[in-house]
């Protein structure tokens, strides 16, 4: 699981929908009382941005005409966060996905 942190307009459909799902997965994991510290320490998620990131992704989904029926009301205590390495994430996406690369990541 990962929070890419890049402009959602640059994400291909697969990565946009995948990151949206992963925001729900992070939320569910925290809600169950399980730790996401490994993801935080690995720079894969900034827990203080889960709800905001979800909403930005959902806005882009709706802009593209996709359905969005899973609002998030993040009412859980947040763990301390480590900043995302967005430039590294862009590099990973460029190397992993030709469609994201072609969209300008």
The position carrying tokens 């029926």 is 69
d(CA 31, CA 76): 7
* pTM > 0.85: yes or no: yes
Q: What is the pLDDT of residues 42-60, one digit of tens each?
A: 889 998 899 999 999 999 9
Helix (H) or strand (E) holding 52: helix 50-63
12 contact partners, CB below 8 Å, separation of at least 6: 97, 99, 100, 103
At 55 the pLDDT is: 96
Q: What are phi and psi of 34, to 5 degrees?
A: -90, 150
91 contact partners, CB below 8 Å, separation of at least 6: none
pLDDT tops 90 at residue 91 = yes
Q: What is the pLDDT of residues 20-35, one digit of tens each?
A: 999 999 999 988 989 8
Where is pLDDT greater, at 41 or 78? Answer: 41
What is the DSSP-derived secondary structure letter of residue 76? S
């Amino acid at each position: 699981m990962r929070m890419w942190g890049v402009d959602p307009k640059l994400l291909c459909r697969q990565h946009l929908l995948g990151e949206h799902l992963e925001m729900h997965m992070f939320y569910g994991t925290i809600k169950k009382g399980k730790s996401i510290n490994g993801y935080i320490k690995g720079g894969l998620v900034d827990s203080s941005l889960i709800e905001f990131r979800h909403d930005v992704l959902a806005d882009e989904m709706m802009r593209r005409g996709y359905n969005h029926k899973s609002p998030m009301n993040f009412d859980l205590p947040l763990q301390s966060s480590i900043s995302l390495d967005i430039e590294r994430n862009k590099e990973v996406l460029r190397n992993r996905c030709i469609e994201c690369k072609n969209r300008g990541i």
